[in-house]
A and B are shown apart, each in its own frame.
Chain A
Amino acid sequence: MIQKTDKERLADFEARIGNGEKIEPGDWMPEQYRKNLIRMIGQHAHSEIVGQLPEGKWIPYAPGFRRKLTLIAKVQDEAGHGQLLYRAAETLGKSREEMIDELLAGKAKYANVFNYPTPTWADVGIIGWLVDTSAVINQTMLAQSSYGPYARAMKRICYEESFHIKQGYDAVAVLAKGTPGQRQMVQDAINRWWYPTLMMSGPPDKLSEHTSLAMKWRIKTKSNEQVRQEFVDHIVPQIRALGLDVPDKECQFDETSGHYKYTQPDWEELKRVINGDGPCNKERLDIRRKAHEEGRWVREALAAKSISKSTGKVLA
């Protein structure tokens, strides 16, 4: 094999991405591509893990057995998504253990939305409906990512997220057609989650330090602004169809652009929440740490068992 220079390799790499080919773990890739992906996939994994908590706390109080089973299944999905994503990030050379340690140490970032409280049952429905709709728009885009393991993980995840959205919508629709008290509860939840959900797609492109490189190498194929606009265009008519309001007077359909206008969220708030200073950051990480410690004996017991005895049915 003739050794290529890094410049030639970069040209080959960019040509492959230009042709719509996937980059696989063993392939040569620029250091920046690797770093960008580890950061993105790691944060994505942490978001799934922490994302179990705001809704998970409602499992004992879910109204009715069916909603309880549904919510357990949804939270289990989030745990599974976290594991799939940690595995995708590991293919780039960072261990799952390292990533989990960073999360528990408060050094890792994750989605802003999971640092807001869920004071009512309506918040659970709104997370499933609004937050997961925004997540699916982002993740459908990421399923086209140039990095093979990330794109493949996204395909599985999107399938499960569509169940999350539907169960969320179902819970919200029941409340929206319910008593005045229930309608008020669900409207209050929309008012609480509207801006945090808009922030979730990330800062505007001019404030985002990672967007241009991520788009150049097709880690992402849409900018934060595009993803956010798609979400607004999709969800606003649905909210109004249920007789509920979007808490933004500026939110009107603009015939010229063909899109809904909306008021920008407070980007300083996003920065604060992402950097650890949101309403529930401490509570979330405390629960994660406690769960990690309380599960330690299980991990140790399994490790001890595997040393003492090799099991598993031998395949013919």
Chain B
Amino acid sequence: MDTQWETYEVFHQSKRGDPHEHVGSVHAPDPQMALQLARDQFARRMKCVSLWVVRTRDITATDYQDESFFAQVVDKGYRDPKAFEAPDKLEHS
């Protein structure tokens, strides 16, 4: 019997202090194997100091179709620096 293993999303960090970036996913029977397979797949060439794997089914995501989720009900221009006028750096006088 071959049952398809579940998938794990892979996050790759190139250097300490950088964000972990999503690079793809792997099939694996458990998280530890997922790390091994992610290393072979995504850290074979790219420099890597840390990998995260997360079970795909544990991720809850928004739906691209549901644009209203991000719609802003009222004008929130006041949050934008462009909404305000302030002088640039003034020359010493």
Query: Which residues from chain A sit less than 8 Å from chain B, CB to CB?
Result: 1, 24, 26-28, 76-77, 80, 83-84, 87, 90, 95-97, 152-153, 156, 159-160, 296, 299-300, 302-303, 305-306, 310-313, 315
Residues of B within 8 A of A27 (CB): 64-65
Cross-chain contact B31 with A80 (CB below 8 angstroms): no
Cross-chain contact B25 with A87 (CB below 8 angstroms): yes
Say whether B14 faces chain A, with CB atoms less than 8 Å apart.
no
Say whether B32 faces chain A, with CB atoms less than 8 Å apart.
yes
Name A1's contact: one of B2, B3, B66 (CB within 8 Å): B66
For A296, give the chain B residue with the smallest CB separation: B2
- Shortest B41–chain A CB gap in Å is 5
Query: Which residues from chain B sit less than 8 Å from chain A, CB to CB?
Result: 1-5, 7, 24-27, 29-35, 40-41, 44-45, 52-53, 61, 63-66, 68
| Distance of A144 Cα from B44 Cα, bound (Å) | 24
Cross-chain contact B32 with A312 (CB below 8 angstroms): yes
For B67, give the chain A residue with the smallest CB separation: A1
Cross-chain contact A303 with B41 (CB below 8 angstroms): no
Cross-chain contact B26 with A311 (CB below 8 angstroms): no
**A80 and B44 contact, Cβ closer than 8 Å, known pairs A97-B2, A310-B30:** yes
Cross-chain contact B7 with A303 (CB below 8 angstroms): no
Cross-chain contact B29 with A83 (CB below 8 angstroms): no
Residues of B within 8 A of A96 (CB): 4, 27
**A95 and B64 contact, Cβ closer than 8 Å, known pairs A84-B24, A303-B29, A306-B33:** no
Cross-chain contact A306 with B29 (CB below 8 angstroms): yes
- Shortest B88–chain A CB gap in Å is 35
Name A26's contact: one of B31, B53, B63 (CB within 8 Å): B63
| Distance of A305 Cα from B29 Cα, bound (Å) | 8
Cross-chain contact A312 with B3 (CB below 8 angstroms): no
Interface majority SS (helix, strand, loop, mixed), chain A = helix
- Shortest B10–chain A CB gap in Å is 10
- Shortest B48–chain A CB gap in Å is 13
| Distance of A77 Cα from B26 Cα, bound (Å) | 15
Cross-chain contact A302 with B68 (CB below 8 angstroms): no
- Shortest B65–chain A CB gap in Å is 7
| Distance of A24 Cα from B27 Cα, bound (Å) | 20
Cross-chain contact A303 with B68 (CB below 8 angstroms): no
Residues of A within 8 A of B31 (CB): 310-312
Cross-chain contact A26 with B29 (CB below 8 angstroms): no
| Distance of A134 Cα from B11 Cα, bound (Å) | 31
Cross-chain contact A312 with B52 (CB below 8 angstroms): no
- Shortest A10–chain B CB gap in Å is 14
**A83 and B26 contact, Cβ closer than 8 Å, known pairs A96-B4, A302-B33, A312-B35:** yes
- Shortest B14–chain A CB gap in Å is 14
Cross-chain contact A84 with B64 (CB below 8 angstroms): no
| Distance of A64 Cα from B30 Cα, bound (Å) | 39
Residues of B within 8 A of A310 (CB): 30-31
Residues of B within 8 A of A97 (CB): 2, 4
Residues of A within 8 A of B27 (CB): 83, 87, 96
| Distance of A312 Cα from B40 Cα, bound (Å) | 17
Residues of A within 8 A of B44 (CB): 76-77, 80
Cross-chain contact B41 with A1 (CB below 8 angstroms): no
Residues of B within 8 A of A160 (CB): 45
**A303 and B65 contact, Cβ closer than 8 Å, known pairs A153-B24, A310-B30:** no
Cross-chain contact A1 with B65 (CB below 8 angstroms): yes
Cross-chain contact A311 with B66 (CB below 8 angstroms): no
**A315 and B52 contact, Cβ closer than 8 Å, known pairs A84-B41, A87-B7:** yes
Residues of B within 8 A of A87 (CB): 7, 24-27
| Distance of A95 Cα from B7 Cα, bound (Å) | 11
- Shortest B6–chain A CB gap in Å is 10
> Can you list 12 A-B contacts with CB-CB less than 8 angstroms, sorted by A residue number?
A26-B64, A83-B26, A84-B24, A87-B25, A153-B24, A302-B29, A303-B3, A303-B29, A305-B29, A305-B30, A306-B33, A313-B32
